[in-house]
Amino acid sequence: MAIKRFVVGNYDDEAVLFPAVKKVRMAGYKMHDVFTPMPIHGLDVAMGLRDTSLHTAGFIYGITGTATALSGIGYALVYDWPLNFGGKPHFALPAWIPIIFELTVLFSAVGMVLTFCYLCQMAPFVRKHHFNLRSTDDQFTMVIECTDKTNIEGVQEFLKSTGAFDVHVQDAETGWWLGTYSKNIPSVDNAKTILV
């Protein structure tokens, strides 16, 4: 990843943030992301994010679990070592349903959580740049990505006009890196912070 320049606008209420997101999109600025302390329903739609496909992944993991259980038990009890349990058929499907169900749920849950962590690039000892530490507490942070052609002062003025109580510029690493949060990072300390 690379270090890029961003205009950061902080809002103190989602009721101000919503119209601001709409105005920024209408004006055509490139929105990097919006960081919020809690889920805000509809914000993804307002930002124009497509719906997640995590459900589909969960379904695929689920049927993988079903197939694993069915084939595994079938292999063990019918093909590999058919044992006689009280004269019942070797292929005793009704008695297998509990384990088939449990493995379906297990595969689906574990698979979805791992996929979630992969998509969001989250793991222990993963470190990212956080634009505003209060955005996990009570502030809402909108981040606009700048290019060579961006009029940075103009963007800052625009965010001010949408109701941001604090607007500044940060240079930040966009990806993740291995590290702990107990160490200071040079890119944050050296980031140029220009307040309007």
Task: Please name the helix (run of DSSP H) or strand (run of DSSP E) that holds residue 93, with its range, or none.
Answer: helix 93-119
Q: How many angstroms separate the CA atoms of 89 and 19, rounded?
A: 66
Strand, coil or helix: 168: strand
The least distance separating another protein from the CB of residue 123, rounded to whole angstroms, comes to 6
Whole-Å CA distances, 85 to 79, 88, 90, 94, 97: 15, 6, 8, 14, 17
The least distance separating another protein from the CB of residue 129, rounded to whole angstroms, comes to 9
The least distance separating another protein from the CB of residue 14, rounded to whole angstroms, comes to 8
C-beta of residue 21 within 8 angstroms of C-beta of residue 34: yes
Q: How many angstroms separate the CA atoms of 180 and 122, rounded?
A: 13
1/49 with CB nearer another protein: 49
Which residue shows structure tokens 């140029």? 192
The least distance separating another protein from the CB of residue 190, rounded to whole angstroms, comes to 20
165/181 with CB nearer another protein: 181
Closest CA to 127 of 165, 183, 180: 180
3/120 with CB nearer another protein: 120
Strand, coil or helix: 36: coil
The strand pairing partners of 9, in sequence order, are 142, 167
The least distance separating another protein from the CB of residue 167, rounded to whole angstroms, comes to 19
134/160 with CB nearer another protein: 134
101/153 with CB nearer another protein: 101
91/153 with CB nearer another protein: 91
C-beta of residue 4 within 8 angstroms of C-beta of residue 171: yes
The least distance separating another protein from the CB of residue 186, rounded to whole angstroms, comes to 17
